[in-house]
Amino acid sequence: MSVVVMNRYIGGTPNEVVPIVKEWKEIMEKNGAESARLSRFFTGPFVGQWLFVVRYSDWAAYARWQDAQSALAEDTKFKELLERTRNIHQVTERIITVEIDI
């Protein structure tokens, strides 16, 4: 059963957001994520907001990412990426789902 984390963000232009998300994707895929995708809402109540969806093969893979964040917390480059991210956009919602094989 895959674990899927959906993060909705507000703020930032494509020129600001896309390069930063590419950096996050690379880090996350090195540390347990199966895939990471970025979308932008074009209809509905969240028009203009961003959706960053990260898929993990299972809870163990998700736990690897959680552990990696703790280890990376002292890394200067990681701290800088986190700060740049916070300056561009903010999380408005985070949802974690578990896919069911049918």
Write b or e for each residue in 64-96: b if 16 or more Cβ atoms lie within 10 A of its Cβ, otherwise e. bbeebeeeeeeeeebeebeeebeeebeeeeeee
| Residue extents of the structural domains in the chain | 3-98
Residue 32 and residue 61: Cα distance in Å, rounded?
A: 5
Give residue-wise pLDDT tens across range 37-53. 999 999 999 999 999 99
Give residue-wise pLDDT tens across range 7-20. 999 999 999 999 99
pTM to 2 decimals?
0.89
pLDDT at 73: 83
pLDDT at 35: 96
Q: 3 has which bridge partners?
A: 56, 98
CATH, range 3-98 = 3.30.70.100
Cβ atoms of 5 and 32 closer than 8 Å? no
